[in-house]
Amino acid sequence: MTPNRYLYGLDDPPPLALSLVYAVQWAVIIFPAYVIAAKIVAQAMDLPAASEARFLQVTLVCSGLGTLFQTLWGHRYPLVEGPATAHLLTFVSLSPLGLGAVQGATLAAAACLALVAVTGAVRPLLRLFTPNVVGVILMLIAFSLLPHLIPPMLGADSRHGDASALVLCMSLALVVIIAVLGHRLRGLWKTCNMALGLLLGTVVFAFLDRVSWAPLLATPWLSLPRPWSSFSPQWHADAFIALVLTYVAIAVNSMGSIQGIAAVTQSARLDSALRRGLLTTGVSGMVCAFFGVVGTVSYSTGPGVVLASRVASRFPLAWCGLLVTAAAFFPKVAAALTLVPSAVVASALCVAMAGQLGAALAVIASGRALAARDYFVVGIPVLVGTLLAFLPQSFILSLSGMGRVFLGNGMVSGIVLVMFLEHVVFIQPKKESPP
């Protein structure tokens, strides 16, 4: 679709009423991601219900303000900000070190990303991210989440300690239902398949006594998140290395999202968008470190929503950012969102990661014939990273230093391994120019 066929172009502000309608639409699409991030972190860090609600509230503030600043000053494209899955994985894997270590490492790593953007080093770095490297990173994010999805899909949570075959069957059925909704629905409804699946799953699991209503009943309608922050950063070299590699993955995600939306809207501002977008992502990561929540990234759902709605304007996204931020100050809404059972969240995440695997395969193929080296460059890091993700937590905790960082985080190990294989072991000889 050419840009001149959009109802509203990239820099065309729609009327206020329509902007608010489009903003609510974007907010509905993105809310499941906020719930997923809060649920996974709460489960990994064994947070009580009040702390989980506070985590979600602060996530809404950081994501909402991130969306606002990105659309008005950063990349200036219709992309929504939300918790980065790559950071979520590292956040969880480093949680045994304590929140202070995670905060300190995130602050330093996000500052490095901002520095790279300011110094103009973004373009040279793009050469390192070949289709093999980018595809492996996307697959590692999906496979590294599997150990965190298995317990909730079995129904093993704080209220129900034993695994349940019924919960597993319902979870798997919900995976299929969400996928079918995404395939059968049309227009904007197609982009809401996860939100519809979360709603349907919550209703069904409520009849199975898998929804706790106590936090919702005990939460006030209006209040500030408390505490706003417990900022106590600690320097931990191993955690810093893990977070630097994580922000490499976040940078790849951001660049891919920006390049994707530029292709369907306007590519003239791509160079400045990459620089300003990564700078804003780095600054946002530093802010998230201060509040102790998962850093944000530009989500890649933008092109699909833009093409379906024929609205390419970035201004409804700014209103969406304000709406998401405002929602954080109504804890009754945040508590209602945390009612979604962990099994339902895990099912929705399975569908999302399945789509990401498909995108990874498309990136690796990318219109070229794969050589024998590509099978090893891609296959070995994915297998090793997935294997490490399933190592027993007791074994990981018995390690110290760099061993815990690399053996305890399959994604980090996989990124290092694919870079090494692609650019050192199986490096391709440069083609000689014809005389």
- Per-residue pLDDT, averaged over 376-396, amounts to 89
Q: Around Cβ 256, how many Cβ atoms within 10 Å? A: 18
User: pLDDT tens digit string along 252-304?
Assistant: 878 878 877 887 788 788 888 989 999 999 999 999 999 989 999 998 777 76
Q: Is residue 50 within 8 Å of 314, Cβ to Cβ?
A: no
Cα distances (angstroms) measured from residue 49 to each of 42, 149, 218: 8, 20, 10
User: How is residue 252 written in tokens?
Assistant: 């790849």
Query: What's the pLDDT band for 367 if we cut at 50, 70, 90?
Result: confident
Supply the pLDDT for residue 394: 79
Supply the pLDDT for residue 1: 44
**Which candidate, 19, 69, 34, 11, places its Cα nearest to that of 328?**
34
User: pLDDT tens digit string along 210-234?
Assistant: 777 776 777 777 777 777 677 788 8
User: pLDDT tens digit string along 163-216?
Assistant: 788 889 999 999 999 888 878 877 657 656 777 888 888 888 888 877 777 767
CA distance 368 to 354: 23
CA distance 26 to 203: 23
Supply the pLDDT for residue 95: 81
Cα 381 off chain centre by: 21
Most confident of 54-58, 59-63, 212-216, 367-371: 59-63
pTM for this model (two decimals): 0.71
Supply the pLDDT for residue 176: 92
Q: Is residue 127 within 8 Å of 328, Cβ to Cβ?
A: no
Which residues are registered as beta bridge partners of 298?
A: 81
Which residues are registered as beta bridge partners of 81?
A: 298
150-157 LR contacts (CB < 8 Å, sep 24+): 151/43, 151/342, 152/39, 152/43, 152/341, 152/342, 152/343, 152/345, 152/346, 153/343, 153/346, 153/347, 153/350, 155/210, 155/343, 157/43, 157/341, 157/342
Supply the pLDDT for residue 94: 83
pLDDT higher at 242 or 278 = 278
User: pLDDT tens digit string along 82-119?
Assistant: 998 778 878 887 888 888 899 999 999 999 999 999 98
Backbone phi, psi, residue 423, to 5° = -110, -5
Which amino acid, residue 340?
V
- Per-residue pLDDT, averaged over 419-425, amounts to 91
- Per-residue pLDDT, averaged over 373-395, amounts to 90
CA distance 349 to 351: 5
Point out the least confidently predicted range of 55-69, 108-122, 236-250, 331-345: 331-345
User: pLDDT tens digit string along 11-32?
Assistant: 999 889 888 878 887 887 777 7
Query: What's the pLDDT band for 2 if we cut at 50, 70, 90?
Result: very low
Q: Are strands 296-298 and 81-83 parallel, antiparallel or unpaired?
A: antiparallel
Which residues are registered as beta bridge partners of 297?
A: 82
Q: Around Cβ 226, how many Cβ atoms within 10 Å? A: 9
Supply the pLDDT for residue 271: 84
Supply the pLDDT for residue 159: 64
Give me the percent of the chain exceeding a pLDDT of 90. Answer: 23
User: How is residue 96 written in tokens?
Assistant: 């045994």
